[in-house]
Amino acid sequence: MKRFLFIITSVITFVISFLGIWVVYYHVSLGPVSNKSENVNFSVKEGSNFYTVTNDLVKKKLIKSGFSYKLYLKLHKPRNIKAGVYQLNKNMGVKKIVEALSGDIKHDLNGVSVTFKEGKDMRYIIDEIVKNTDNSEDDVKEVLKDKDYLQSLVKKYWFIGDEILSDDIYYSLEGYLAPNTYNFRKDLKVKEIFKVMLDEMDKNLSKYKKDIESSKYTPHQLLTLASIVELEGTEGSDRKGIAGVFYNRLNNNWNLGSDVTAYYGAGVALSERDLTTIELNDANPYNTRVPSMAGKLPIGPICNPSIDSIDAVIHPTESDYYFFVADKNGQTYFTKTDKEHIAKRNELIEAGLWYTYE
C-alpha cells in the first residue's frame, strides 16, 4: 500500500512539475524576442488571419514560438487582424504584436494608421505625413533634398538609381513610395517612414526584377511611365493598352502628348482647373506635349503608381494604336490616326460624354 501511495505521489508530483515547467515556458515564449529595440516591417495581406501569419512572424523573428502564439490566440480570441504594413519591434512580445495587428495598440503606442492612396503625388504624401505624425512639412522636404541620404538609398535599393539626384526633379522620391495602409508611431521620423514605404516598393518590384533588368528602360523610367499610365488610365483593364500606345510613340520618336504630365509640370492638380495655353506649352522637364520632349519620358514620375500600372508598363498590350481618349465615365477608346482621334473626341462631345471642369 505504501509503495502504491509513493507511486501515486510521484506521478502527481511529476505532473505538477511538468505543468509548472510548461506554464513557465509558455509565458517566457510569449515574451519579447529581444530586449533591444529593432523595428521590423511586417505586411498583412487582405484575407489573412492571425493563424495564417504565424510562419511569417516566426521567420521575421518577431515571436519565439509558433505553437505558443497559436495557443495564445485560442485562449484570448483576438478580434480580426487588419490588412496593412506594420512597423513592429522585436521587443514587443506576442501580446503587443497581436494588439498591433488588430488595431488595439494605437492608443498605447501613440500610433496611427495612415493610408497613402494610389495615383497621388508627393504633395499629398507630405500632407498625410504632416497630418498624421509629429513631422512638419519642412522635415519632409529637407529629407527629400538631402543628397547624402539619397545617395545612401541608391546604394541600398536595387531599383533606385542616380536619376533621383537630379536638381530638376521636383521631389526626389516621387513614384518610389509604395501606396498602402501603414501603421506608424506618431513620433516616427521621416526617414523611418520612407524606409517602411521603400521596403514595400522593393517587395512589389522584386516580383518583376528579371523583366525590369532585361528591359531597355531603367527602373526609374519604368516607374515614370507607370505613373503616367496610372493617371491616364482610370480603368485597370485599359492600362496595358495605354502603356502600349506610349511605347509606340516612344519607339517612333513621337511626343507622349500626355496632359497629366503638363499638369504636374505646372504644379496644378488634375481636378483643379484647365491649364492655360502658356502652361500647356511650357518647356519644363515634365511636360511631354512640347516639341523638345519628342521620344522622351519626363525627368521623373508624376505620382506613386499602383501595382496594376507597374504591371501594365512591364507587360503592355501590343497594338498599332497611337492615340487614346477617355470619356467622363472612364471608358478608354483607342485609335490609330490623328483624324480618327479627333473624330472620336467630337463623337464623345456630341454624346455628352466629354469630361469638363465645373
Give the model confidence (pLDDT) of 227-286 as tens digits: 999 998 876 568 999 999 999 999 999 999 998 999 999 888 887 788 888 888 888 999
| Pairing mode, strands 111-116 and 84-89 | unpaired
Could you read off the pLDDT of 9-26 as tens digits, one per residue? 554 554 455 455 555 566
Question: What value does the mean pLDDT take over residues 81-106?
Answer: 76
Q: Which CATH superfamily is domain 29-109 in?
A: Endolytic murein transglycosylase (3.30.1490.480)
How deeply is 141 buried, as exposed, middle or buried, from its count of CB atoms within 10 A (0-12, 13-18, 19+)? Answer: middle
pLDDT grade, residue 332 (50/70/90)?
A: confident
The pair phi, psi for residue 111, each rounded to 5°, is -105, 165
Least confident of 104-118, 127-141, 309-323: 104-118
Per-domain boundaries in the chain? 29-109, 215-350
- The highest-confidence range among 17-26, 302-311, 347-356, by mean pLDDT, is 302-311
pLDDT surpassing 90 at residue 127: yes
Question: What value does the mean pLDDT take over residues 164-179?
Answer: 96
What's the Cα-to-Cα distance from 77 to each of 50, 71, 80, 98, 191, rounded to whole Å? 10, 10, 9, 10, 36
| Pairing mode, strands 84-89 and 180-185 | parallel
In what side-by-side order are the strands of the sheet with 84-89?
A: 39-44, 84-89, 180-185, 111-116
Task: Write down the pLDDT at residue 106.
Answer: 45
The pair phi, psi for residue 41, each rounded to 5°, is -80, 130
Bridge partners (DSSP) of residue 5 are none
Bridge partners (DSSP) of residue 184 are 112
Task: Write down the pLDDT at residue 233.
Answer: 81
Task: Write down the pLDDT at residue 3.
Answer: 54
How deeply is 317 buried, as exposed, middle or buried, from its count of CB atoms within 10 A (0-12, 13-18, 19+)? Answer: middle
Distance CA 312, CA 241 (A): 8
pLDDT surpassing 50 at residue 328: yes
Task: Write down the pLDDT at residue 27.
Answer: 66
Nearest to 69 by CA among 182, 213, 61: 61
**pTM listed for this prediction:** 0.76
pLDDT surpassing 90 at residue 299: yes
Task: Write down the pLDDT at residue 6.
Answer: 47
Task: Write down the pLDDT at residue 63.
Answer: 84
Cell numbers describing residue 41: 516591417
Say if CB 325 and CB 332 are below 8 A apart: yes
Task: Write down the pLDDT at residue 322.
Answer: 93
Least confident of 5-9, 127-131, 342-346: 5-9
Helices (H), 233-258: 236-251
Distance CA 171, CA 193 (A): 16
**Hey, CA dihedral for 174, 204, 211, 242, is it positive or negative?**
negative
